[in-house]
Structure 1
């Protein structure tokens, strides 16, 4: 395709208007998510730091990349020169990669939490999440700017796509085209789907085997211990988050099954009957010596509180596990729906470039699939709000201008 002489005349059409609407909605929804993190401190937990990183990248996609790419529909072609095209495409691919790597980071974190719950609970921290988020930006920038963008600047070409964009050098060579296709879409797609499948199967198998069933049957000690570890880790996470926020009262159960608060549990430990406390038939019981020697301290405050009552422990862990899986499911579903067309497009381009060019001359499939991929930046904040009621309530509070 040859370049047109002279600047083209803009022609406003419905497609351009739709692109602007999608861009505006993407900016609005991601801005609301980030505003929710700012005003609601309960949202600033370990897992949501990964979500915040993706929201920042998605906000920039809607604020910068979508408006620039929509100009192709306004002018009928790409109006920027080669140098600006290289930087725009490098920045576009960097932002998209940060969003994809963010989803991978969430899946890896949930995978470790599911299969190695104790180690995950001991090592997770806001600092760790921040370093991982910074790493997604560094890796994305290094791949797309320092490798491919520099290559196009040093060795420019005049090959244009049907939409008028300059073809990057990696697309002109089969080995680099296969490598980039795998890095950008195929590899992350397979990795995310694989991790999610393993997590789903693991959680489902654990959910079908409650701890009481494992104790009554002849299951191996290792499988029962694993179930206990999962419940202990999930419960410790919930309890530590409640202590940090100081807005949700920790709930305990005494040996008789009566619900009492944390303060009541500490003050009433001396009054618990010794024979009930020392009952060996109860799995979760307190010894009389521990109750007598208990003293609140900084060490006790920082450690996960002990909860008496097997049913309460299992229920709280189950509720948290369901919320985490719901969030992960919606994020992965949004990724699969929006990135699958782009992955197929890259596979066709890799298999037969001539057939790929013929298809795009008849209809701009490549540009359409690219915008479907851009829409992942719009579906992500919707998935967050659907999965977490607190995010949804905070966003509604902001829209209603309530404090």
Structure 2
């Protein structure tokens, strides 16, 4: 690994030099272990501690197959799916690996007693398998997390509809929280040249998810002038949704949980902000009953911020806690688009406010290659910026996941893999200087 790192850090290493590097037999990776899936049995979700379940192990370098690439990972990041993996909720990811392993002789590699996790990376291509023409050793890349087989016609209009669609590093093995990762070549995208390794690694999953959910025709198809209600507007997903709304001429109504998070939204350029804790919204009377009066109070507050208009789009991801309110406050003919359920999967809402007002609920999951490419292109052009707030070492990934699990973070948290320190990998200092305040916006809070 030292020779690989030296080659990456050297300014004059050629593609042929990278192709000539010997691959190590093993590499360090963040893993969960199959024999520990019951370690949190009987505990409440909030009591489950990723610091106990996430390990840094030496694991063998996987076999490289057709259409695949091995990437030296300089940096990665923690997403909520890493938290789910680490606490074995809503189920153990080893079930995903077992099912994938049954698909073919090649996919058997993924069914192991350990799971190398992580769905983001920025790094350098080391090797490509047969059939890969667009990428080669030495290319500096980021990876999106959509893994597809595309042997069914179902996925050829929208690859997210492929029956064998999976999220890399969550439903497959050999993810990005490691020194080396195995990806399919159609996961690769150019690394934005003005960003450091850790900055470039942080947007991938959440940026692409927010793009499909809000901007794409497969999601809410946001247009200029739309009022967009964004839950968790300073968080990993919401911070990108807020940027997309502002960049696209829409009006974000940012819902946050503290004045500190409200200030982040103001720095991004948002003006309409609701601090749900300060204003005391409680959408549930108890475990079983919601409070429509709170929905109405919330809707009234939104109209105060929009000049009397209801929202055209609700950017939903909390799920159970907020979904009833989201359906209620959406304008007639509007759209509630949902990509997650971090507060619970069983949503309840009053269907009268949906059907009689011709509202739509749209399910959205990650992004296809084109959507991920467009989202990354906006990062590379400096139109959308990373929301990295803090960076950890590979050994500290358990703490990073713990912080995300407990919502102790802002934006995204990064993880250094091979990169020996932060700030490395910038290739366009002139462009970086133009956007430095925005790049560091979440760090400076």
The TM-score bracket by the shorter chain reads: under 0.3
* TM-score (structure 2 length as normaliser): 0.23
* TM-score (structure 1 length as normaliser): 0.25
Which structure has greater helix proportion? 1
Greater Rg, structure 1 or structure 2? 1
